[in-house]
Chain A
Amino acid sequence: MNGFHFNTKSDQTILLGRKARNLSELLSGLQTVPNSSIYYHTHKYLHQHQYLSPEPPNDFAYWITQALNEQTLGEQISSVDIVQFRTIEELRTTFVRLFQTHLAGTERLPSAPLGQEFHFMTSRIFVLKTPYVARSLEEFREMLQRVSINTLYYHVFDAKLKLEKGDNDFSRWFRDLGNLELAEQVSRLDPYTYTLEGLRNKLIHLVEKYGPH
């Protein structure tokens, strides 16, 4: 049986030097920036505000609501259920469609106040191995209590959507172990509605409940 190697990661934020003052410019940016930028702007809050629950919305929704005062569109964008998406491209298509529909139905094109423009960014991740390698679910549960939240973040969020592995690393390993029920329970979890510490506790609980006794 292959063990589970816990990794950790660090992010470097890259400035793309591109900004938007209104929805039309935001849409244009959304259509052309790299996938990693869409990922960055939909996940940054989760990482930077990991102690808050419920989570503040993604960058696009936050800017639309706070800088443009477009409450309805802001709510629509923040309600996009990111956990449903398997690729960034699908997520981009959904955002683009929402923007286009909104712009087609209004004459208004409010501009952000000076200094509050939207700045497109992206990130690079540097992945490091940790000394933790779990050979059993019991070891996995014990190590999950000790790893950093960056480790958790990498295996749950980055693995599925940034690295486009289709599912989180934990579920993929549980499946390899033959524990399909545990794999399914973790896959079904909406990690976007937890703080990272809350997510750690939930995962530990699921391993205790569905793992071997």
Chain B
Amino acid sequence: MVPIEDYAPIVGQRAIDELFQLAEHVKGKHVQNINSTAVGGGVAEILTRVIPLLNQLGVLARWDVIKGNEKFFAVTKKFHNGLHGVPVDISKEEFEWFEEVNRQNAKELSFEDIVFVHDPQPVALIERRSELGKNWIWRCHIDFSQPDKNIWKFLEQYIRHYDVAVFSAPAFARTLSIPQVLIPPSIDPLSDKNKDLPPEIIDKIFARFQIDQSRPIMTQISRFDFLKDPLGVIKAYKLVKQHIDLQLVLAGGGATDDPEGPVIMKQVQEEAEKDKDIFVLFLPPSSDIEINALVRGSTVVLQKSLKEGFGLTVSEALWKGKPTIASAVGGIPLQIAHKHSGILTHSIEGTAYWIKQLINEPDYARQLGMNGKEHIRNNFLITRHLKDYLLLFLSLFHKGDVVDL
């Protein structure tokens, strides 16, 4: 467990003191997080990190996982796809099974003062509210910008009974009768993926992959699927390569749900075979240090996604002070103010143009990177996430625009 004081050298002792001061007002309240999986996925990852920190602040936080069978998770997977805009067909019986599994879990669980429900899977636990009371929060971690209408209608009948709904990006907000709070995700500056690395480790990893650190390197870290546009990145690289002798690193791993994934993968590999300066690295899930080093050793970092949920890889690059060029989609514009803390682009040509600019003007690129790092320090580190959660809990007990604690 990371001691919370270890974050003080990064965000300042005053920020840590303010967390303790806010937590003082939540003391005595029990916060119960509920989701559908204990391991794997972003929600489990953030809960694993946030709950011990909340406990260190004196907040009584715990975590329960609902039980469901294969049939239940097949339905929730359909929800997930439908909420991301994939056409799905969900039968009446499937909706009923979803409700039934939630009812069974609601009977077995004992509920605390603040019930903090994550994502759609356990959303219907709220049915017991009229009988139990308590304070209920629904936290949506997924992209809700264009949800399937039927699924949204089904979920909304539960969401409206919560005290508050929480979304990760402004575009995910809905027309709802309850307050909606914005809490973007965050990165942990002390995790393997983000912590400082000694130069010799970075050098060693670049040597292992046989990437030449004496020439410029552009890198994109992402899964190899259509939405991350690796072929677009290669096109941008080729445009730049006409003028600058640079290398391209495409690194990532993880499963893709995209049916076109294997086709894209094949094309990426074919392009890489034609050009020795293109490095396609398939990394296993335990490659956080490698990813950290690859980003730190790059000249420019890209995130040329066609669609993004939040796109935390952008925060991860900016935190390392890297000049970053990313598409203006999903949560990325929250992380980059164009030409202030990074570059936002809309096309392959625009991306190529800015790669050239940043490689040829290293002072400007360095300034962008420094601004980007400060922006992440102030807005996207886990300590800010903790503060947002404390405010969220407090908001259940205090009304008004200005709350004097």
| A contact set with B: CB distance below 8 Å | 8, 10-17, 19, 36, 45, 48-52, 56, 62, 66, 113, 115-117, 119, 121-122, 124-129, 147-148, 150, 162-163
In the complex, the answer to whether A17 meets B181 with C-beta atoms within 8 Å is no
Chain A residues with CB under 8 A of B167: 15
User: Min CB distance, B148 to chain A, in Å?
Assistant: 18
User: Considering residues B328, B338, B401, which has the most beta carbons from chain A within 10 angstroms of its beta carbon?
Assistant: B401
Enumerate the 5 nearest inter-chain pairs by beta-carbon distance, A residue then B residue, closest first: A119-B170, A15-B173, A13-B182, A51-B374, A15-B180
B18 and A148: CB pair below 8 A?
A: yes
Q: Which residues of B in the span 1-33 have a Cβ within 8 Å of any Cβ on A? A: 12, 14-15, 18, 21-22
15 A-B interface contacts by CB (under 8 A): A12-B388, A12-B391, A13-B182, A15-B180, A51-B374, A52-B340, A52-B341, A62-B337, A66-B344, A119-B173, A124-B401, A126-B22, A148-B15, A162-B401, A163-B402
Given contacts A48-B375, A128-B22, A148-B15, contact A12 B395 (CB under 8 A): yes
Complex interface residues of chain B between 292 and 331 (CB less than 8 A to chain A): 328-330
Q: Are B329 and A14 in contact (CB under 8 A)?
A: no
Residue of B nearest to A113 (CB): B346
For the complex with contacts A12-B395, A17-B173, A125-B401, 20 further pairs of A-B residues with Cβ separation under 8 Å are A10-B391, A11-B391, A14-B180, A14-B182, A15-B170, A17-B175, A51-B371, A51-B374, A51-B375, A62-B337, A66-B338, A115-B171, A115-B328, A116-B328, A124-B401, A124-B402, A126-B391, A126-B398, A128-B22, A148-B14
Q: Which residue of the partner chain A has the closest CB to B164? A: A14
Q: Across the interface, which residues of B come within 8 angstroms of A48, CB to CB?
A: 375, 378-379
B285 within 8 Å of A by Cβ? Answer: no
| Closest CB in chain B relative to A125 CB, distance in Å | 5
Assess whether B181 is in contact with A14, with CB atoms less than 8 Å apart: yes
- Please pick, from A13, A117, A124, the residue contacting B400 in the complex, using a CB distance under 8 A: A124
Q: Do residues B173 and A124 form an inter-chain contact, with CB atoms below 8 A?
A: no
| A127 with B179: CB separation less than 8 A | no
B270: chain A residues at CB < 8 Å are none
- Asked if A10 meets B170 with Cβ closer than 8 Å, knowing A50-B378, A126-B403, the reply is no
Determine whether the beta carbon of B405 is less than 8 Å from that of A126.
yes
| CA A129 to CA B395, docked complex, whole Å | 18
Known: A36-B401, A125-B401. A15 touches B14 (CB 8 A): no
Is B68 an interface residue, CB under 8 A from the partner? no
Contact with A along B329-373 (1 / 0, CB 8 A): 110010001101100101000000000000000000000000100
Min CB distance, B231 to chain A, in Å?
A: 21
Query: Nearest chain-A residue to B15 (Cβ)?
Result: A148
Closest B residue to A148 by beta carbon equals: B14
Q: Do A119 and B371 touch (CB < 8 A)?
A: no
Determine if B174 is an interface residue (Cβ-Cβ < 8 Å): yes
CA distance A148 to B14 in the complex (A): 6
CA distance A125 to B183 in the complex (A): 15
Give every chain A residue within 8 A of B74 (Cβ-Cβ): none
Cβ–Cβ < 8 Å partners of A36 in chain B: 401
Does chain A have a CB within 8 A of B135?
A: no
B170: which A residues are within 8 A, CB to CB? 15, 119, 121
B66 at the interface (CB under 8 A from A): no
Contact B375 A127 (CB under 8 A): no
B404 in the interface (beta carbon within 8 A): yes
**Those of B371-392 within 8 Å (CB) of chain A:** 371, 374-375, 378-379, 387-388, 391-392
Contacts A50-B378, A115-B145 given: A17-B329 contact, CB under 8 Å?
A: no
Inter-chain CA distance A115–B333, complex, in Å, is: 10
Chain B residues with Cβ below 8 Å from A10 are 18, 22, 387, 391
Query: Which chain B residue lies CB-closest to A35?
Result: B401
With A10-B18, A125-B403 given, is the CB distance from A117 to B171 under 8 Å? yes
Contacts of A128 in B (CB 8 A): 18, 21-22, 405
- Nearest to A130 among chain B residues (CB) is B21
Please indicate the chain B residues that have their CB under 8 angstroms from the CB of A113 in the complex: 328, 346
Nearest to A55 among chain B residues (CB) is B340
